[in-house]
Amino acid sequence: MGLRALVESAGAGLRRRRWLWLGVLGALLVAWPIFIHEVFFAYIATLMLLYTIGAASLHLVLRTGHLSLCHAAFMGLGGYTSALLTTRLGWPFALAFLASGLVPAAVALVVGPILLRLRGVYFVLITFTLGEIVRLVLNEWKSLTGGADGIFRIPPPSPLLVDKRAYYYFALAMAAICVGVIARILSSQTGRYIDSIRESERLAQSSGVPILRFKVMIFAIACGFVGFQGSLLAHFITFVAPGSYTFSESLNLLVMNVIGGMGGLAGPLIGAAFLTALPEFLRGWVELQRVLYGVVLVLVMLFVPGGLIEIGRRLLSTGRS
């Protein structure tokens, strides 16, 4: 049996035994810290996991056909909520964490009906504006948010989690739950409805469910999840500042989706891991690093619009004659 045939059958096997592969991945994610003790790796891996939550939640919004440029603003709402509740009011982490999802979701429910009426580039522009407004508010409302300095010395969720490697496992569990829920939504009847809305709104309307209300609900869920990421990040890095939730961060989340591939949930997960790791690989060449970032974006869009997932698929199907 030649190598080609081997790769080909592996590819076919991949598609058939998805659960096996998920199991292998899960085992790897749990086991690697046992063999690699470098704390820095745990640090980066934790960041990767937390960003999968945000990227996956943005994917939900993208699946409804809307491109949001304010997702980081909702992350900020979650992060600040959690920070304020634990540092100023002494709330236990579990409650603050819940609130960090509820607050952005509530805001999304309020502004959603206004925003989601718009489509295409108008939606992009209005979300951009909303993101800037949130940033301004976080910056200006000094008495509440600490202004541009932000809030420091945010306590860890528990004394057990001061160790970076312990936090890694915590993040792994949280990310698995969040992404799992999002995956469940996408593979259910709700998910099919989301796809039908994106493909043709008029057709979807004829099946009876009110579209705007549905989109707002999905939008609120997505904002709630990225709020969770905000909280987890805040307690990991131990501070929040308006500068962490700007347009460029929203862009980051978007690029994770694009580079990973927007066709399915796997895309943003891979994109999040890739983009979090990339600056670390390119640390030797700081100036070049940023140029390369731009070049990669352009090249992906031109040649591999399906993102890394598409690259993966193409590689696996090269076995075919």
281 binds another protein per the rule CB under 8 A: no
Q: What's the min distance (Å) between Cβ of 293 and another protein?
A: 6
CA distance 185 to 179: 10
Rounded (5°) CA angle 99-105-108: 145
Which element (helix H / strand E) includes 220?
Answer: helix 211-237
To 10 degrees, what angle do helices 39-63 and 247-260 make?
Answer: 80
Selected from 36, 177, 209, 301, the binder of another protein by CB under 8 A is: 301
CB 22 within 8 A of CB 30: no
Binding mask 1-20 for another protein (x = CB under 8 A): --------------------
117 binds another protein per the rule CB under 8 A: yes
Q: Is 240 helix (H, G, I), strand (E, B) or coil?
A: strand
Total of residues contacting another protein (CB under 8 A):
57
150 binds another protein per the rule CB under 8 A: yes
124 binds another protein per the rule CB under 8 A: yes
CA distance 186 to 11: 24
What are the residues facing 240 on neighbouring strands? 151
Query: Shortest CA distance to 79 belongs to which of 53, 103, 58, 111?
Result: 103
118 binds another protein per the rule CB under 8 A: yes
Q: What's the min distance (Å) between Cβ of 277 and another protein?
A: 12
312 binds another protein per the rule CB under 8 A: no
Selected from 28, 34, 121, 207, the binder of another protein by CB under 8 A is: 121
CA distance 280 to 276: 8
Q: What's the min distance (Å) between Cβ of 152 and another protein?
A: 7
287 binds another protein per the rule CB under 8 A: yes
- Structural tokens at position 109: 């429910």
Q: What's the min distance (Å) between Cβ of 116 and another protein?
A: 11
Return the range that interacts with another protein (CB under 8 A); candidates 102-110, 217-225, 248-256, 312-320.
Answer: 248-256
202 binds another protein per the rule CB under 8 A: no
Selected from 38, 163, 195, 199, the binder of another protein by CB under 8 A is: 38
Beta strand spans in 58-102 (E): none
Rounded (5°) CA angle 130-133-139: 145
- SS3 track for 134-191: HHHHHHHCHHHHCHHHCECCCCCCCHHHHCHHHHHHHHHHHHHHHHHHHHHHHHCHHH
CA distance 115 to 297: 27
239 binds another protein per the rule CB under 8 A: yes
311 binds another protein per the rule CB under 8 A: no
163 binds another protein per the rule CB under 8 A: no
Q: What's the min distance (Å) between Cβ of 283 and another protein?
A: 7
Please give the residues from 47 up to 106 whose contact with another protein meets the rule CB under 8 A: 67
Q: List residues near another protein by CB under 8 A.
A: 38-40, 43, 67, 114, 117-118, 120-122, 124-126, 128-130, 132-133, 136, 139-140, 142, 147-150, 152, 237-239, 241, 243-244, 251, 254-255, 258, 262, 280, 283, 286-291, 293-299, 301-302, 305
